[in-house]
Structure 1
Amino acid sequence: MKANFIYRTALAASFGCSLLLGLGATATNARAAELKVMSTVALTPTLDELAPKFEASGNHLTIVYSTIANLKKKIDAGETADVFILSHPVLDDLQSQGKVAKGSVADLGTSYVAVGVRAGAPLPDISTPEKLKAALLATKSISYADPAKGGASGIHMAKVIDRLGLAEQMKPKTVLVPGAESGELVAKGEADMAVAQASEIAAVPGTQVVGPLPGDFNSKITFSAGVGATAKDPAAAKTLIELLTGPTGKAVLKSKGMDPA
């Protein structure tokens, strides 16, 4: 009898544990979310570090990176996402069109168009427009995003070069890239100077940020996140944005060369 009682007690305990484990697994699956994110390439370093933290609880992120202009074209053509990470003005526009949930836009941080060189290389003096012009003339090669592909920093730099009257002089020593690869070219020695968002340059090992473009050549951009109006799991999308805007997100943004909001 005693042995039979012990067996039944053990069986009941085993069943109880199995039930609890099953309920736990069900709860975990219920919390898990599949989110699609459309993000500017400027946030690549930040999301690469934060995505595993968000996915640690069973969630999964599919992130589409591109220039803001290219992503805007995709969105205008009907593509959507659970979370959009773009410039604040673009998100405001999408919100007014009903493509971003009203009241969901949150600022993440501000970055500026910067000059970068290889780590350990002498830092060019770009503190005034005149000194920037001299630095551009002195460099053997420069790389920035192709303006034709919509990269904001590339469009801006092309205008700066034109304002400095250097369009013809710079053309033969300019290497255009489709997105945020200019820092990588500098790190590999394939270009001597990079111009991109400071956060993009700072994230590439083997590069260093010289500083922002001087005076009224400087260009800052505020990046923000918003929940897609058609998001399948708005609560999970909001949780991701809270991670980006919270203490952990702010620390990562700062470490990637961005000024947190």
Structure 2
Amino acid sequence: MRKNILITGASSGLGRGMAIEFAKLGCNLALCARRTDRLEALKAELTAAHPGIHVAIRALDVNDYDAVFAVFRAFREELGTLDRVIVNAGLGKGRPVGTGYFHANRQTAETNFVAALAQCEAAVEIFREQNAGHLVTISSMSAMRGMPKNLTTYAATKAGLAALSEGIRADLLQTPIKVTTLFPGYIRSEINEKVQKTPFMVDTETGCRALVRAIEREPVKACVPWWPWTLIGLLMRHLPLSMVARMG
């Protein structure tokens, strides 16, 4: 069992939900996010419910790349090892390309890809030193194809993250270090709380429980929840773009 788990973007949404599920399994947690008040509250909640675990928290803006490396190393020193790092922090805002919102699309691209690269670099650097570890990246079902409207840049960043993860995996095939890419479907969180009447949406607890079950299996890739997203992913990759565009 991988005991010491680092999760970025842990103050809300999927990051917070996964932290709760891993705490139930008796894992020690290294939790980081920008909102330290929420981290403090989460730490108090988890240690009260599971007094046998160690919960470390630190403030981190993943777009501060030097801080990413410093925080990851500080967590490793505090816990002794980092057994698993979950690259979860991300941004969901965006607008159709060419409509005057480059600033929003650029922020999404920088947070979801460049900052994710920094997290992967920092994690794998530690894993190489340890000759052990499990890197988990949280992509999206939207990464399966180019998506229209507000999803265009977001989907592209998540596709880029999936490709980055696969490249890292290829580089580490002959080592004990594992790499998993997860493609979540519609899981309710702060990033989509205003989206209504979405088919196949599951609540945060159900979705995070499915994510943690998938992570524990350590697959190369997984759509989460498995049903119906594995089938939808297959269809998305093969349907005409005109049909995929209606999903946006």
> Under a length normalisation based on structure 2, what TM-score does the superposition of the two structures give?
0.32
Choose 1 or 2 for highest CA Rg: 1
Structure with the bigger percentage of helix? 2
| Structure with greater strand share of residues | 1
Higher RCO by CA contacts (8 Å cutoff, separation 6 or greater): 1
* TM-score, normalisation: structure 1: 0.31
